[in-house]
Every structure is written in structure tokens, then in C-alpha cells.
Chains A and B, each alone.
Chain A
């Protein structure tokens, strides 16, 4: 079946621009996570949705980062006024139940110039 998909796969932005990253989770998966992966590091948790409710956003690094999942399926991670330190791979993962494995998408590589 279809896995988690993300778009775009690559995004180059000039410092100060706003960007929007999309995640399509596995159909029927209740939980959705966003992670940020810096070069040479493991992914770090950003935020979590259960259906349309954002239950944990403790990992968002600043108020420039905003995520939504209005209908409980597709999610968008928005970064306003991008900075060079925002350059990273942004990974989305989904999960059917709390005890299940998280399945990851291919990621969006964001480069801020």
C-alpha cells in the first residue's frame, strides 16, 4: 500500500521567505509526527497530532514554526521568515495506534540561502 508521502522533496528558500511543507500520512493513521533532522544528526521531535488535534508542540524551535492538520489527514508544516539555521531535512511520520511503529516519509530537504 501507499506509504507516507511528502512534498516538495527539495526546497530552496531565501532567508526571510515563508515555506510550507506537506505531509500525506498513511490512510487511516490517527497519529502524525513532524521531526527535524540536521546534517549528521538523528531526527528531533517537533510536533504531534492525533487526528486534527495538535497535542504536543513542545519541539517547535520558535514561534516561526507552525503546523496544522485541519481534517485529520494531510498536514502542513509552515516556517515563516526562514533563517539559515532552519536548513535541515523535515521528516513526517504516521502511526495507526499509540503502540504501533511510526512509518516515515522520504523527507523534505530545506536549504535556506
Chain B
């Protein structure tokens, strides 16, 4: 079965700083999803990557899927307190194309 490892597990940054979260898969990624979760809430879809080398951006968040398709990174530029939360990567697979998730990265942005 596929396993996803996220690093770091937690991250505390000062407002305005850039940061990167990594997601490494034990198998080739065919569809990689990034979600954000605030405590007590559901998952908010951020981006989906499918092709090796693909890069997508939304506002100050950029996600990339490496050429070998076993790692993805999420980069936040000039972080703000509103970026705080848990970031989860999920890989598409299985008979139902259900998602297998990493354990998440807890991001705290200090004002």
C-alpha cells in the first residue's frame, strides 16, 4: 500500500517569512492533492497535481510535483496568520481512487 510522509510535522514561522512543506511517497504519484484543515473543521481543497514537473499557484501558495513523481512540495510566500492550519497531502489510488493521506504539517504563523 502507498504511504505518504510529510515533513516537517510542525512549523512555526514569523509572519512574512517563506516556508516549504514536503510530501514524499513510497510509490509513484498519479494524482497528488493538497488540502488545508483548521482545527475542528473539514478539509479545504487547495490544489491537485498530476503530471511530473507540474507546478500550480494560487495566491501566495505554490505546489510542485517532481519529475520522478514521488515527491511534492508546498511553498508559501510571505506567510500570514490566515495561512495557519494543518496542511495535508493526499495521493489518489485504489479501486475507488480514494485518497491516502500523510499525517499532516501543523503550521503556526506568529504575528
Contacts and interface: CB of A to CB of B under 8 A. Distances in A.
Interface of A: 4, 6, 31, 33, 35, 40-45, 48, 50, 55-56, 59, 91, 93, 98-99, 101-107, 109
A105 B97 contact: no
Given A91-B42, A105-B42, A107-B42, A41 B104 contact: yes
Contacts of A106: 41-42
B98 A45 contact: yes
Interface of B: 4, 33, 35, 40-45, 48, 88, 90, 94-104
Interface of B is mostly: strand
5 contacts: A42-B101, A45-B99, A59-B98, A104-B45, A109-B40
A79 to B, nearest CB: 19
A113 B65 CA distance: 43
B96 A31 contact: yes
Contacts of B104: 40-42
B48 A101 contact: yes
Contacts of B97: 98-99
Contacts of A48: 96, 98
A56 B95 contact: yes
B94 A45 contact: yes
Nearest to A38: B103
A98 to B, nearest CB: 5
